[in-house]
Structure 1
Amino acid sequence: MLSSQDLKERANLHKSLEGLKKLADMHWKKYRPKMYQALKKKGELEESINLATKNKWEVMQKIQKQLIEQGYTQQQAEDTAWELMREEWIILPEESSEEEEESEREIDFMKLLSMDKPPRNIIL
């Protein structure tokens, strides 16, 4: 769970692609340290962050456009698109204290990143 301090620091990071990358890096480092270190050790951290953010940024932009066409204000569209997308791609759940096999977790994560659509349907 994000603390109020975390929320304040991250309040506007999702409003740009570079901010989204920074947000992913900060969140993964704090809440997914095993995954973060494994990707960093393999030299795949930057690529993984880029994959997780670029396609998702484009999807967020499309959702925002659709919401504006439906009568949402720009701010409402941004906030709603962010809420719909954040936990699917960027704000991943904390790692469990149970030991998981690193290779299985990495394979699942890379499959998730390579998807063009979020793993759950988002209905507007």
Structure 2
Amino acid sequence: APIPAYPYGPALLYKQSNRGLYGGTRIHFGNNVSKRTETHTRRSWKPNILNKSLYSVALRKMVKLRVSARVLRTIDKSGGLDEYLLKDKENRVKELGELGWKLRWRLMQEESVRERLRLEALALGLPKEE
């Protein structure tokens, strides 16, 4: 099945974030201010990006990703890469980006994940057809 388009579209200002899990972080700009003369000099702060291999339980393999340190911490807190990608809160989907959206779609095609989602739907009292 073709992957549906990412609902929030590609990042246009920080295009590098389309190729990894950046969590919405981008380059920040500001000033260095000298102590003696208070001269302002423009500078930038780049996000802390790491190349990591993370294990996906549903896919049963390691996935190489560019991940920001903040997202890596969130992945640990949520219980792994699969749990991070499958959370369906609006803010989480927004911070996934295009690559995260594709990974999420790929996970949702796995039979183990589909069965888990069916059981969650039954627990909520939804009909089987949906």
The TM-score normalised by the length of structure 1 is 0.23
Task: Give the structure with the larger helix fraction.
Answer: 1
Task: Give the structure with the larger strand fraction.
Answer: 2
The TM-score normalised by the length of structure 2 is 0.22
